[in-house]
Chain A
Amino acid sequence: MSEEVKIIEKKQVPLGAVMLYGFPDVGLVGVIAASHLMSELKNLNEVAYMDSKLLPPLIVLHEGLPHSPIRIFGNDNVLLAVSETAIPADTIYPIMNALIDWGKSKNVKMMISLSGIPIQDRQDVQELKVFAAASNPEMLKMVQDKGIKILNEGYMVGPQAIVLQRCARMGVPAITLLAQCFLNYPDPEAAAEVLKELANITGIKVDISKLLEKGEEIRLKARDVMKRTQQEMTKMKKAQEYDIPLYVS
């Protein structure tokens, strides 16, 4: 693990779990999905947190006590890495690398990033599609067999890009699930769609009805995190995901 980024364990961490990532990105899909998982999977406890001078001098207070903005929650089957703040664009590599290496040291079965893919005129779309990309052909076949569409060609920018790239290199099975969503507005409906496909792949099933019922309140509450995430997305050139790649064989 890098000296700049440390992951401090608070409890015994289960081996062989599925590791999920819910990080701020388009539509805050991953963060909203992770937050809903935490409220529905009652036995998820904080097992580790990140300590890094690369992050802004910031703590999150819950019930008067300080917490790292990047924490890992877990039970016997699931490890869920979440960030409660937008991650500075220039720190994404060391932060994600540290989390991936830590996950590998816990022999995780697979890593799954929950995120979104922005579409134009999102408010006119009734049924949101979920796309997937994977770290190896076997994982890609597995998600295809589950009926999930593959993101065939394109660019991916952000934490999920690093997860796929590093996991491919390290031989860790990994998937990114991307629900169609708003670019700059929190999108609880997209988070619900990504959770449906998570259940389809892993069997980690939660009731999404409350997420949809409270959608407007979530959008209101998520405005500030979305605003800061927008600023970081601009810095990391997120708009490159709209580009058409030049195929080089």
Chain B
Amino acid sequence: MVLKYIEEYRDGTLARAIIKKIQAVSKKKLRLMEVCGTHTMSIFRHGIRSVLPEGITLLSGPGCPVCVTAQKDIDAFVEFSRIDNVIVTTFGDLIKVLGSSSSLGKEKAAGADVRIVYSVFDAINIARENKEKEVVFCGVGFETTIPTIAAGILMGIGDIPLIGDIPLIGDIPLIGDIPLSGMSLKKEYEKFDAAIKFGMDMPDMPEPKGCACGEILMGLKTPEQCGLYKKKCTPMTPVGPCMVSSEGSCAAFYRYS
């Protein structure tokens, strides 16, 4: 399974030539925002900021599933994990995200059946092997993750209830509601909606005090301009979603700069 593109897309000679050209033509100040967690990571991993002209500022927008997940959804995931006979399946990133009182990681330590999966199809397999149990898949994300989740439902697998409230750009915590945004399952697929199945309706939670995640996601502030950054808020003790997710701007800033 040798993927040649890695070599071709990482051609150092070519990249250095392009950087030289950017340095030569760049005159005015520019602020560029990427809205993809993978891009955020790549920018840091390859040290791209350090090779760009001073006038170019790179900003990280709302691009990771965790950053656009409301705290009340995390609270719902935690509540599901506390129900007898329920297996909660989740992407690894969500495990340590703190809701208003707990995280899936803490519930797992306390005995809940929480399992890390790499796609909805892993969750479906777990459901097939555990027919006597209910399996909930935490379907966070946006357009990039939704197609596979939808495909999972369409394959008619049956026994896997899914979290509805899948936030699209809009239902973003800390930015506020954007009308006609956010995603949930259509009425005909409601039986797969775990929130409906278990009658889960979590209250909106106030966002953490002093946290600038909202402004950071909108490019109005950099992580360093947040009063909590590196003080109260670190990857080990994250306050806001941008620090929780490994792809969040604050976590990436913390790790790489």
Verify that A and B bind, or say they do not. no
B residues near A (Cβ < 8 Å) are none
Chain A residues with CB under 8 Å of chain B are none
